[in-house]
Amino acid sequence: MAISSLTSTAVTGIGRGLQGLKRNAARIAETTHYPQTIPTRDSIRAMVELHENAQQVATSVQVFKAADKVIGSLLDVKA
């Protein structure tokens, strides 16, 4: 896999994760207007997906950092 493909995949993963974070945060905010109510199945699902989205962003950032490090190493070798 080419380095540019890795960085592209990482950036796509970050974007999708952030979109999911925004979507699920909105779902949670919609269902928490009444603090005394028991969480619904949808709000619990949104909380779990929110955590998954955060993990996706963190993992994608790590992939991006690794690709950046490889690019830096390649530039050091060529210099």
Q: Is the pLDDT of residue 36 over 70?
A: no
Please spell the DSSP secondary structure of the chain, one letter per residue.
--HHHHHHHHHHHHHHHHHHHHHHHHHHHHHTSSTTSPPPHHHHHHHHHHHHHHHHHHHHHHHHHHHHHHHHHHHHHH-
Output the pLDDT for position 3: 64
- Calculate mean pLDDT across residues 32-38: 68
Which one is predicted more confidently, 2 or 4?
A: 4
Domain ranges of the chain: 3-78
Percent of the chain exceeding pLDDT 70 equals 81
Mean model confidence pLDDT for the chain:
86
In this prediction, residues 43-53 reach a mean pLDDT of 95
pLDDT at 31: 76
What number is the average pLDDT over the span 48-60?
97
